[in-house]
Amino acid sequence: MISDNNNKIDLIFFGCTSRLLKHSSTEFSLLIASVNSTLSSELFPRSPLRSTSEPSLTVHLKPTDFSGPLTRVCEALQEAQKYCGSGLRSEMISEYIRCFREGDMEAHKRASIKWVQDLSPVVESYLGHIESYVDPFAQRAEWEGFTAIVNKELSQKFELLVDNAQHLVRSLPWGPSFEVDVFRKPDFTALEILSFATGGIPAGINIPKVNILSAKAANEEITFIHPSERELYAKWDAKTFDLQVANHELLGHGSGKQLTENKDGTFKTGKPVESWYKPGETYGSKFGTVASSMEECRAEAVALYLCSNREILKIFGYEEKEDIETIQYMTFLLMARAGVRALEWYDPQTKKHGQAHMQARLGITKWMIDHGLASLEQVRNSETHELQDAYIRVDKQKVLQHGKEIIGKLLVEIQIRKSIADAKGAEKFYTELTTPPDQLWETELRDLVIKKKQPRKIFVQPNTTIIHPSSSSSSSDGQNPDHLDVKLLDYPLTNLGVIESFLNRNI
């Protein structure tokens, strides 16, 4: 009931910045992240809210959630605005400040538009309540912010892919009826991250729309790959990963149509469908708990589907037959290994997945196994029959001959359900898809995955601070007393270093 009520509010002000506080079974407060203590009547409905179906149910709207940190963020943004240069950047910061002061997510959208329009800056930054992965209802978002320096050489390379995106998405298997009428050309930026303040640092992100490639850990043990293939895997891992992320973010998330009813109640076509998006409904609000992971599954599958596209491979420098076949094979092998490792995030007791991307990879791996592209090789103790090791094997010839077709069928299953807002059918299909293949996967193999898992990586984030020279030293060395220096603060690679980094960030 409260979820439904929160969704109604979400249509008005986008509930990604809200938290629900329960006072009793009939009285709740919806906490809204903002600096200001009053809510604009233009942005929010009158408080308290009452349910039409349950008159006793009351929801109070309460501003100033996280007002302390947001006040400091706004103060820092005002200071940054003095040095931001172009008009677009100044306008972007103004919209940021309005969003954080008033809780106005429309202002954050306008800031995002200005940010996207500011093409190819040397320094990139983006912040706000963005991703909803950690919310069980996939509605409320975690705060995040990054500062990064653009990798110009790599960005130029990926710009070629962007330039051809319009016609490349036309090759996707669901046909023109379910593809967007006009593909909005994204601005792909490859970034070297200075600092990323969030709970989990992604390898690539799509926020309307930037893409970030983060460094992979060196010398990581290659588990669940047959010894005969480990040298090849190590050689192609990073190159395959770059291709996968680019296709995933640029052509995966940006493609596919959602059939939406017009605000006046009319429809865009006369074709009969049984379900569609009502005005104000979004993919996230309609599909709920499966939305995030199923979208990641769709984007991952697009990356697999397009890994054989000769035009894309040429952009990445793969024109020789051997290289073309190898990177196709490796793309499927990387996905299959990720699917095995995804068991670490699966709870066999609750039948729940703890991570959206890993759930998607497990589902794709299961699809590959069911369609003969992959298989699991077991290594057991000859006496006790205990599972000692396991290797995920991918049939290279089947991948080259049938891989695209098989992944295309999965894409159609997902995209059609997304397009016609078939939330019920999608939940049933996706739950079955991402259920481990058999009892072995839920028991012995999962135990082996947990036994072999690498120590969890802890990222120690650096900070920057402004150094104000003293007047005496400035005058003595001839420097301008108004000159400011920026110092990079680094920290030891320890748990204490992580804590010190967070404390010095002072948010």
Q: Which of 91, 249, 300, 442 is catalytic?
A: 249
**Angle formed by the axes of helices 291-306 and 356-370, to 10°?**
50
| Residue 401 in domain | yes
* Nearest alpha-carbon partner for 36 in 113, 99, 114: 99
| Residue 366 in domain | yes
User: What's the number of domains the chain is made of?
Assistant: 3
Report pTM: 0.69
Looking at the fold, whether 392 and 420 belong to one and the same domain comes out as: yes
- Domain coverage including residue 478: 463-505
Looking at the fold, whether 345 and 486 belong to one and the same domain comes out as: no
Looking at the fold, whether 475 and 429 belong to one and the same domain comes out as: no
Looking at the fold, whether 358 and 404 belong to one and the same domain comes out as: yes
Angstrom CA distances, 398 to 20, 275, 336, 372, 405, stand at 50, 36, 14, 8, 10
| Residue 438 in domain | yes
Looking at the fold, whether 447 and 324 belong to one and the same domain comes out as: yes
| Residue 338 in domain | yes
Looking at the fold, whether 403 and 483 belong to one and the same domain comes out as: no
Looking at the fold, whether 423 and 484 belong to one and the same domain comes out as: no
| Residue 92 in domain | no
DSSP state letters, 322-365 = HHHHHHHHHHHHHHHHHHHHGGGGEETTTTEES-HHHHHHHHHH
Is residue 396 within 8 A of residue 325, CB to CB? The reply is yes
Looking at the fold, whether 487 and 357 belong to one and the same domain comes out as: no
Coil, strand or helix at 370: helix
Looking at the fold, whether 328 and 444 belong to one and the same domain comes out as: yes
| d(C-alpha 227, C-alpha 222), whole Å | 9
Is residue 100 within 8 A of residue 74, CB to CB? The reply is yes
**Domain limit, last residue, from 66, 100, 121:** 66
| Residue 127 in domain | no
| Residue 487 in domain | yes
Angstrom CA distances, 250 to 184, 246, 268, stand at 10, 6, 26
The residue assigned the tokens 């995920």 is 392
Is residue 376 within 8 A of residue 392, CB to CB? The reply is yes
Residues in the chain: 507
**Domain limit, last residue, from 452, 475, 492:** 452
| d(C-alpha 212, C-alpha 242), whole Å | 10
3-state secondary structure 177-199: HHCCCCCCCCCCCCEEEEEEECC
Looking at the fold, whether 379 and 479 belong to one and the same domain comes out as: no
| d(C-alpha 238, C-alpha 54), whole Å | 55
Task: Give the CATH number of the domain where residue 33 resides.
Answer: 3.30.70.2600
* Nearest alpha-carbon partner for 152 in 104, 126, 205, 188: 188
Q: How far is CA 57 from the centre of its chain?
A: 35
* Nearest alpha-carbon partner for 326 in 414, 226, 396, 251: 396
* Nearest alpha-carbon partner for 300 in 433, 476, 178, 195: 433
| Residue 37 in domain | yes
Per-residue pLDDT of the chain (507 residues; tens, 9 = 90+): 455 544 443 334 446 888 889 999 889 898 999 999 988 887 787 778 887 777 788 888 899 999 999 999 999 999 999 988 778 999 999 999 999 999 988 899 999 889 888 877 888 889 999 888 788 777 788 898 888 888 887 777 788 888 888 888 888 888 777 766 666 666 667 788 888 888 777 765 655 434 333 434 444 578 999 999 999 999 999 999 989 988 988 888 877 767 666 566 655 445 577 788 888 888 888 998 899 999 999 999 999 999 999 999 999 899 999 999 999 999 999 999 999 999 999 999 999 999 999 999 999 999 999 999 999 999 999 999 999 999 999 999 999 999 999 999 999 999 999 988 999 999 999 999 999 999 999 999 999 999 998 877 778 889 888 887 665 455 555 555 566 788 999 999 899 999 999 898 876
Looking at the fold, whether 416 and 340 belong to one and the same domain comes out as: yes
Is residue 423 within 8 A of residue 286, CB to CB? The reply is yes
Looking at the fold, whether 301 and 443 belong to one and the same domain comes out as: yes
**Domain limit, last residue, from 44, 66, 88:** 66
Helices (H) and strands (E) in the chain, counts: 19, 13
Query: Is 131 marked active-site?
Result: no
